[in-house]
Amino acid sequence: MVVDPYQKREASKYKNPIPSREYISSWLQKCQDLISQKNLEKKFGINNQEEKKALRRRLRAMERDGQVIYTKNHCYIAPESLKVIKGKVIGHRDGYGFLRTETLKDDLWLSSEQMKSCIHGDIILAHIVNNHGKRRSSARFLKLLQPNNVLIVGRYYIDSRMNFVIPNDTRFSFKIFICSAIKEDISTGSVVVVKLKQHPIRNVKIQGLIVEVLGKEMNTNLAIEMALRTHSIPSLWSEEIKKQLYTIGNKINQSDLKNRVDLRHLPFFTIDDEDARDFDDAVFCKRQINSPEEGWNLWVAIADVSFYIQPDTPLDKEALERGTSIYFPSLVIPMLPEKISTDLCSLNPHVERLCLICEMSLSNKGELISYKHYEGIICSHGRFTYDEIFRMWNGDVLLCSKYKNFLKDIKNLSYLQKILNKDSISKKGIYFENIEPRFILDSDSRIKSIYQNTRNDAHKFIESCMILANIASSRFVEKHKHPVLFRNHDRPKKDNVISFRLFLNELGLTLLGGDVPESTHYSNLLRSVSNRPEYEMIQTILLRSMKQAVYSPDNRGHFGLSLSSYVHFTSPIRRYPDLILHRVIKHLLLKNKDISINNCNYSNSFLYSINEMKKIGLHCSITERRADEASRDVVDWLKCDFMHKKIGAILNGVISNVTSFGFFVRLNHFFIDGLVHIASLNDDYYYFDSLGLKLIGKSRRNTYCLGDSLQVKVISVNLNERKIELSLYKT
């Protein structure tokens, strides 16, 4: 053993000297691993109880002063030798898990043993362990930073007088034992909501309390209730909010029109899906007759939600908490109560509505030349669906006759659409022709039939109008340098670009642009393959290689749209960032024009600070993902419920994804994916080619890759796990 260089100093101070702090720190740094006090005692030759107590006191003092780290599994390690990282735990149904971090490219492996100290959703501090010879590094749990206190949805069972709940989310791979008497009689198999009594402790059963019983027989309403609880989504309005709603008038007063531009004479139209409930945007356009370029004037009127929802009120706080409206196939969980979302702020036909206007001047090529924002009042002259507008553009006699008084203005929209389509904003960016299934539900809110939701020119026109209004709004707030939430879409990671190019090479295709391709390189690629049978497959892989868009006050541009800056202006009824932007625009109008903005107490200072915007942006990005996940949960249940009736059916489909454990087949006409597990491919031993995204037979060299058409048989449907199992059908 190396002698402690500070041994004499310690001996002069203590009757029973132990290793100095310096020596302990030096030894731990060389060790570079977790070590218990018992093993430290052996290393330092400490045997008697007094010295053991002294070592324990010294280690605690060193922990207090940051010289050592003490972990939950009662071990010590030197901070200098520890690769510490913070991350979110992602559980797996088989008991192990992963640690997802913001800095590392790949998730870290968490063994089943490590998962005994944490659960899915926890934020933890962990030690990175490099597993030599293995593909993935692992993480060793150190400390719980932020427990996942979410309520857990599961099914209730009784076995040998033990009451327990099995979580519906398989990422919670444990039973929850109900630790107290249940007040009501709950039948076995019921869906319940559980609150954990304590966080996981090694070798101790996880206990919880039942706080709500949702039901037993699965249906669409129960699937929605489960999704709301699973993702902690608020869905009820408090008494405080109801009181505030009562104080909001049902009619527009004359005083509300002060400093507003009266546009009630202009024939604005709302154009939406047939089943739309809230109408937050309306459009009108006309030619610039006196302009030498003969361009266009385009008005986009957006419901003035900020007039009714003032900052820091109960309604505002609840809207921020929700972040976004959530659209389930049979139900909407709105960001704002119906009095606001479907009444006062819905641009219903033939009623006067307060709006924030973005008026734009466009060239004869559809380019944005100038713009201005102002408060206005409009009266929508008509509520149309995309299909109706598209049919009138194409000469539908009955509809043209029915709406003959509006035909001139409707045709103007068509002329502008043709111009926008030639130099379309989406052509500069990456435009995805997504195949979206639409469900027709029966009286029980279950799928009756499925059809493809085809986007026509009317969809594309309204989308272009909204993008133009967003661009104009982004330029306006940028010019005034006020903190705002940008809609950022970062360029793909370098590794994702490399992987996508390797995939394209398999198809004999090339993505131009060198090491850092621009949006136009991707859009040019998609246009060049639009008529190829692999188009949908290429689009799918490209989409997977892209990053998610987020909200942030740090402007990083929108890669997908090929724009240097972008904001969301057009949907304040259903998106909180849009409501924030409306307030900022009003604030800037007040500040720069020295006028009294209606129902507005904004000062001349910044309305929101950068730090406030960062917090709101992060929260809204999270609520957006939360809404997508909740909606997906319900849609997946509806699909499985629909396919349950088709067990045994022989269907045609196309391979939509290939993994190491099998491939997914998208069933024609239903747009539903099912899994053909690799274990069912018993004619050969198949291995996964991750570059070509294909399964290859080792002996016969049969391959299964993206885009392959084949016949499959529906083997089973697991409604609880939302899984559809298929097998190949060979005649």
pLDDT above 50 for 572: yes
pLDDT above 80 for 424: no
Q: Do 289 and 361 sit in the same domain of this protein?
A: yes
pLDDT above 70 for 1: no
Q: Are 20 and 11 in contact (CB under 8 A)?
A: no
Q: Do 178 and 155 sit in the same domain of this protein?
A: yes
Q: Which of 22, 47, 77 is the last residue of a domain?
A: 77
Percent of the residues in the chain that have a pLDDT greater than 70, as a whole number: 93
Supply the mean pLDDT for the chain. 88
Q: Which amino acid is at 669?
A: H
Q: Output the domain CATH number for residue 70.
A: 1.10.10
384 forms beta bridges with 271
What is the enclosing helix (H) or strand (E) of 717? strand 709-718
| Residue 190 structural domain | 151-216
Q: Do 585 and 477 sit in the same domain of this protein?
A: yes
Q: Are 321 and 234 in contact (CB under 8 A)?
A: yes
**pLDDT single digits (tens) 323-345:** 999 999 989 999 999 999 999 99
Q: Are 358 and 473 in contact (CB under 8 A)?
A: yes
Q: Do 190 and 64 sit in the same domain of this protein?
A: no
Q: Which of 631, 666, 696 is the last residue of a domain?
A: 631
**594 band by pLDDT with thresholds 50, 70 and 90:** very low
**pLDDT single digits (tens) 232-258:** 999 999 999 999 999 999 889 888 898
Q: What is the mean pLDDT of residues 468-493?
A: 94
Window from 233-247, 422-436, 529-543, 603-617 with minimum mean pLDDT = 422-436
Q: What is the mean pLDDT of residues 108-126?
A: 90
Q: Is residue 551 part of a domain?
A: no
What's the pLDDT score for residue 132? 54
Rounded to whole angstroms, the Cα distance separating 464 from 461 reads 5
Q: What is the mean pLDDT of residues 24-47?
A: 81
Q: Do 464 and 608 sit in the same domain of this protein?
A: yes
**Per-residue DSSP letter, 339:** I
pLDDT above 80 for 5: no
Q: Do 361 and 425 sit in the same domain of this protein?
A: yes
Q: Is residue 234 part of a domain?
A: no
pLDDT above 50 for 502: yes
Q: Do 461 and 355 sit in the same domain of this protein?
A: yes
Structure tokens at 220: 């669409």
Q: Is residue 329 part of a domain?
A: yes
Q: Do 104 and 193 sit in the same domain of this protein?
A: no
Q: Which of 577, 603, 631 is the last residue of a domain?
A: 631
**When comparing pLDDT for 299 and 499, which is higher?**
299
Q: How far is CA 720 from the centre of its chain?
A: 23
Q: Is residue 641 part of a domain?
A: no
Q: Is residue 574 part of a domain?
A: yes
**Per-residue DSSP letter, 580:** H
pLDDT above 80 for 34: no
**pLDDT single digits (tens) 368-409:** 999 999 999 999 999 999 999 999 999 999 999 999 999 999
Burial of 198 (0-12, 13-18, 19+ CB in 10 A): exposed
Q: Output the domain CATH number for residue 121.
A: 2.40.50.140
Q: Is residue 134 part of a domain?
A: yes
Q: Do 248 and 397 sit in the same domain of this protein?
A: yes
Q: Do 337 and 382 sit in the same domain of this protein?
A: yes
- Number of structural domains (the chain) is 6
pLDDT above 80 for 545: yes
Q: Do 269 and 339 sit in the same domain of this protein?
A: yes
**292 band by pLDDT with thresholds 50, 70 and 90:** low
Q: Is residue 228 part of a domain?
A: no
Q: What are phi and psi of 623, to 5 degrees?
A: -65, -30
Q: Is residue 1 part of a domain?
A: no
What's the pLDDT score for residue 604? 45
What is the enclosing helix (H) or strand (E) of 228? helix 220-230
Q: Do 403 and 285 sit in the same domain of this protein?
A: yes
